[in-house]
Amino acid sequence: MTINDTLQRASLRLSVLEFRGKREYGLCIRHKEEVMGWRVLSAVISVLTFGKVSLLKKFWTTIGNVVYVPKRVDQNGKVFRFGDLPYEDYCTLSHELAHVKHFYNLGFPSVKGGKAVGVLLMLLLYFFVFFPVGLAYARYRFEREAYMAGLLAAHVIGLEIPQRMELAIRYCSTSPTYLWMWPFPQSVRRWFVAEFASRCRNTVLVPTDV
């Protein structure tokens, strides 16, 4: 498979993923810079991580069925918006849609008041079970599932997996990005290796020349 084939495959799958997310979950995408709450939270996180993490410039975040992204432009200055994302966002959007499903599984929006209930439950679990920093077990469970979705997305379009998996393991264990949420990298590594192998057992790996 050539680089162009990989890009074309990723672009097509991204379009399908966006459409499915909008149809099934009412998915919408907003820029973090446009929301004051994100600007304030970004400043707080920057202090807590000693300036190592900038929520506005790098990281995507999902709340309910809204995915908040950094504002980015193409080489011609055009701002990327929903329905017109760059192809390389396929793996990232797969990750974020896993979080959308987490909110839905917690009641958003299938019961009366479910939107508020789902968001509240998710945030309480994400930040306080067991602890906000260092042993955030619920956060670890949510994030490892989302990173696995991203790895599987990379797998089906033929991208190399080892480096991506190593990054996922670090993010899910000892990285300040998630406030050192589960600092047991060997345990995290065992889960990723076993789970990825299990989910890919019946999937044909797409060869790649990249």
Residue 142 has pLDDT above 90, yes or no: yes
Work out the pLDDT band at 183, boundaries 50, 70, 90. Answer: very high
163-180 pLDDT, tens per residue? 999 999 999 999 988 889
Which pLDDT score is estimated for 85? 67
Distance CA 16, CA 19 (A): 5
84-102 pLDDT, tens per residue? 667 778 899 999 999 999 9
Average pLDDT, the chain: 83
Rounded to an integer, what is the distance from CA 164 to the centroid of its chain?
Answer: 13
What pTM does this model have?
0.83
Sheet holding 61-63, edge to edge: 28-31, 66-69, 61-63
Distance CA 168, CA 76 (A): 32
Which pLDDT score is estimated for 210? 29
Distance CA 151, CA 198 (A): 13
Which pLDDT score is estimated for 188? 97
SS3 string, 81-112, reads CCCCCCHHHHHHHHHHHHHHHHHHHCCCCCCC
